Amino acid sequence: MTPAGHQLTTRPVLDQRGRRVFAATCGCMPAGMAWYAPLLGDLYDRHQAHLDALREASRRNHPTARRTP
């Protein structure tokens, strides 16, 4: 399940050459920042990689991960 602050929003847009591409923003991204790709699947993959990186960073920085034997 995706955390509420990380919902993906997509929309079709036209690039500089007039081709239809897709723009996506994650709930945690600053205003005006977006990912762009020609296919929605590419954006979903990018978002999943983003979520995986956040999950790994959370695990790495969790206090239980800092235990010293």
Q: What is the dihedral of CA 50, 57, 4, 13, to 10 degrees?
A: -20
Q: How confident is the model at residue 10 (pLDDT cuts 50, 70, 90)?
A: very high
- More confident call, 56 vs 67: 56
Residue 65: which residues within 8 A CB-CB, separation 6 or more?
59
Angstrom distance (rounded) from CA 69 to CA 8: 40
Angstrom distance (rounded) from CA 10 to CA 20: 13
Q: How confident is the model at residue 63 (pLDDT cuts 50, 70, 90)?
A: confident
For 15-56, write each residue's pLDDT tens digit. 999 999 999 999 999 999 999 999 999 999 999 999 999 889
Tell me the CA end-to-end span of the chain in Å, nearest whole number.
33
